[in-house]
Structure 1
């Protein structure tokens, strides 16, 4: 499984529509999606789908016109297709490469253990493939529940994940840890799996997806969420997670370089529920990193830290305060597609 920093051809977005949980805040969340889309088009192509054909047509035409007027390299490929929601990271295809050939794996998606409606999302990749949005790259169905946000790859055979998510019985109840590691080896080429047993974010529906907690930035470098407030409910679990990360070793038995990410000021929804704001939910694209920010004082420090981690990439902050209202952020609504797949 390629690392996220490997060359890409496109990013996939499943556009919000009135039939999703965004129906009461559609204008606000569409603005956030447009910011993400425009940032991507500065560097690569977009694959878009939306259940509402008219909405999709307007978005596609306006984004393509904007990209062309600004002489940008990216273009939009789009098709109308049903979707329950917008979390492309988890229902989108996961790419692997073998002998120089890319294929897209269509794992099963059941909305994080049957928490919400999911059948439209589970069928989406096949519809995109049949519409030609992935070119001639084969799409292979895999009878295993796996969400893209639950795994991190270093591009060299190591997968980082959390036991709370992958061991959840509502996903693959017939497999124990050894069985799951075997599946990851067969499908993703995983030579070893690093399991985090601690770490969570309040308001997270995913059972502790790794992309909200700890991220590979290089084969020997992990950035992670760190809570420095001893009075915060997250403090014990995130301290325990940091201890686990310090015990991990690279494939050649060296400790990882670790970078603590800032802890954002708590964000709350209208109902008073704490929302899962995290700077770990960034997206690496060609020559840039899209960083979620939340209009809190720690945003500037997060931009600085990401700039130090990725000195050769442009750091593009995106206001994702609207996204966390539905308990996800920037990485959650995007899925990268490797180079050579999407060629408008």
Structure 2
């Protein structure tokens, strides 16, 4: 469905889509990947941070094999501590840039910038979406909300501010005019209660440069983001998605993921084609202190040379790596144990935001 542009946009002179800008698919070549260095107890206690840092460092090193890593670091003390950890781990510091950008938390997918490209003009710009820590769940978030503008200044890029809440993990793009998202998240009253589904669709089209919005209903159990799409469905090319699947009817995720698969089968792309659907198993439940965590193999990051996949010390790890590898035959598949990272209620895709080349 083609959606008309917003008739009025507060605080904006232009709509990116009207100027030919769009958000490319994640497999589009990157200039860099952006992260925000963990430094508070917002997501991990001090003890938990020590447990998660080895995997976090491995994640950085895996990205740096094929592209630059830019890291928002809260202050000079955090920068020095980060450099020490990276040096001890024998990371290639020539591929890693630490920047004094104050943050509240570490989930750069959601508080980081949305980079748009215009290939005809050879230009890029940034969308400075509002951020409220997933419905004001984890204040303060004032520093995180400023990160897109900080990065726009650093990259010397223009930016636009739509004036509504939007998180990078809530949207998934095929690079050919389609975005996937979930009603549970984007229509949640804790984000943009004044907007209807049609309003949200217009914002997505006008500011991400898409022409079609496809909706699933829910997310997975334990996801405090209210249903981010990057734990359930990911595009691997323009007309193929990899979708988390749970065959066990006794598992709490079973009804949600069954419904998502039903929804995906009814969808048609702009060209009329049906989606190709690749089933990706869910890991065994990861439970901490009696709480099920949002562990999903779908929370992978695509880099220039690899696909970095969270693993969870379970028998299904290799099966998931093999399936994802078949979807990305030209990239190396790198599995990294995310058991300690997911304790913070996210994984590698949640931690990162790609900066595309133009």
Matches within 5 A, 1:95-174: 95-98=115-118, 99=120, 100-117=122-139, 118-130=141-153, 132=154, 134=155, 136-174=156-194
Query: Does 2:34 match 1:15?
Result: no
Residue 63 of structure 1: how far off its partner (Å): 4.0
Residue 174 of structure 1: how far off its partner (Å): 1.4
Distance 1:321 1:227 in 2: 19
Q: 1:313 aligns with which of 311, 331, 336?
A: 331
Gaps of 5+ in 2: 1-22
The match for 1:232 is 251
The match for 1:30 is 53
Conservation of the 8 A alpha-carbon contact between 1:14 and 1:87: yes
Distance 2:71 2:259 in 1: 39
Conservation of the 8 A alpha-carbon contact between 1:157 and 1:191: yes
Residue 139 of structure 1: how far off its partner (Å): 3.0
Residue 11 of structure 1: how far off its partner (Å): 0.7
Residue 68 of structure 1: how far off its partner (Å): 4.6
The match for 1:204 is 223
Conservation of the 8 A alpha-carbon contact between 1:227 and 1:235: yes
Distance 1:224 1:310 in 2: 15
Distance 1:211 1:273 in 2: 20
Where 1:325 maps in the other structure, the secondary structure is helix
Conservation of the 8 A alpha-carbon contact between 1:19 and 1:84: no
C-alpha RMSD of matched pairs (Å): 1.8
Residue 97 of structure 1: how far off its partner (Å): 1.7
Query: Does 2:80 match 1:57?
Result: yes
Query: Does 2:301 match 1:283?
Result: yes
Distance 1:30 1:156 in 2: 36
Residue 326 of structure 1: how far off its partner (Å): 1.5
Shift of the 157–218 alpha-carbon distance from structure 1 to 2, 3 Å rule, reads same
Distance 1:27 1:52 in 2: 19
Q: 2:264 aligns with which of 234, 240, 245?
A: 245
Shift of the 247–14 alpha-carbon distance from structure 1 to 2, 3 Å rule, reads same
Shift of the 296–268 alpha-carbon distance from structure 1 to 2, 3 Å rule, reads same
Distance 1:186 1:94 in 2: 13
Where 2:241 maps in the other structure, the secondary structure is strand
Matched pairs, number: 331
Query: Does 2:280 match 1:261?
Result: yes
Residue 137 of structure 1: how far off its partner (Å): 2.4
Gaps of 5+ in 1: none
